[in-house]
A = this chain, B = another copy of it.
Amino acid sequence: MNPRENTRQLHLGSVDVGGGALVSVQSMCNTDTMDASATLAQITGLEEAGCELIRVALPSKAAYPSFEEICKKSPLPVIADIHFKHSHALAAISMGAKAIRINPGNIGDMAKVDEIIEAAKAAKVPIRIGVNAGSLDPYYKEMGGWSLSDKLIASSKAFVRHFESQGFYDIALSAKAHDVLTTIETYERLSEELPEIPLHLGVTEAGTFRQGTVKSSLGIGHLLLKGIGDTFRVSLTADPLEEIRVAWDILAAAGLRRRSPEIVSCPTCGRCKVDLVALASKVDERLQEVKAPISVAVMGCAVNGPGEAKDADIGVACGNGVGSIFVQGTIIKKVKEDEIIDALFKEIDERF
């Protein structure tokens, strides 16, 4: 009952996607592809934050030289994002992209799609077929009596079958909508109807940071909990670094992978006598430097604090100007309120 065990495995440079591989995290550069150094700097920052695959747009012939340099120097496998012109896809394959993403519906002519397929097959470069609500094949777009899911699925299946008819099987599939329920329904049905195809999950045009985080957490997380999805992108109208941080929070919340410390902290309430929001924010900020996937509790009162903090690897329960620091169930010291952060991180540094 774990669909992602049964998909075909693709190899994008050093990263495996599908066939039970770890669910991988990806993002997309929002730099100008013509500016290789800015793009490479962004990729490096994203890699440090935990990004594992990076998509880069190849929108014009003028961007070919910088795209080639990016592919050569990128610390992450580069997926070329291609729209409209099949010649850009052919160029991306020849310049070292580890995968390409196309929407065959906006390439238009299937003979041109077949040229891409041939080139990808020869170079062993996987293709993500990226159908989405905003750029649905015109043929399906006009159909009456079909739900958006029906259209996304029919269009996806038609393309997958066409690629396979050409002897090409290194396919991943995405079919994103900006509506969470449509996204969930579509991917659940794709997982049943095309059980062998690795799925790239995402809620598209999910919106600004807060709304996009909610929609992606629910849409992507719900599918991941059902064993659906081999790789995913959180799409936010925000710095791509935030996409990666949210992506890892989703993986951790879904119990799949944990990369960094977890912070367990109270909501504040009328019982709370310390500025817990400020304290937890400071702890969270300094935890960015900590790599061990430990659980750190920051609790504001005597009610739930000690109980929760005992479960965590390390924690502090505050009250009456004093912070009690716990390590795996044992209070090891009490410190004054303004010494909590330093005392906590001294213990973290020494112990983990």
Contacts and interface: CB of A to CB of B under 8 A. Distances in A.
A77 B81 CA distance: 52
Contacts of A55: 269
A289 to B, nearest CB: 16
**Main DSSP-derived SS at the A contact region:** mixed
Interface in A243-284: 243, 245-246, 249-250, 253-255, 262-272, 276-277, 280-281, 284
B304 A135 contact: yes
Contacts of A240: 267
Interface in A296-352: 297-299, 303-305, 307-308, 311
Interface in A132-154: 132-136, 141
Interface string A53-79: 001110100000000000000000000
B59 A270 contact: yes
Given A57-B271, A59-B271, A297-B205, A135 B307 contact: yes
B237 A269 contact: no
Contact of A217 (B83, B213, B269, B305): B213
Interface residues of A, number: 83
B180 A255 contact: yes
A304 B132 contact: yes
Interface of A: 28-33, 39, 55-57, 59, 81, 83, 106, 132-136, 141, 178-181, 184, 204-208, 210-215, 217-219, 221-222, 225, 233, 235-240, 242-243, 245-246, 249-250, 253-255, 262-272, 276-277, 280-281, 284, 297-299, 303-305, 307-308, 311
Given A217-B218, A237-B267, 6 more contacts: A205-B297, A207-B264, A207-B265, A210-B249, A218-B225, A237-B276
Closest 8 CB pairs of A and B: A57-B270, A134-B304, A217-B217, A218-B221, A134-B308, A235-B267, A214-B249, A134-B307
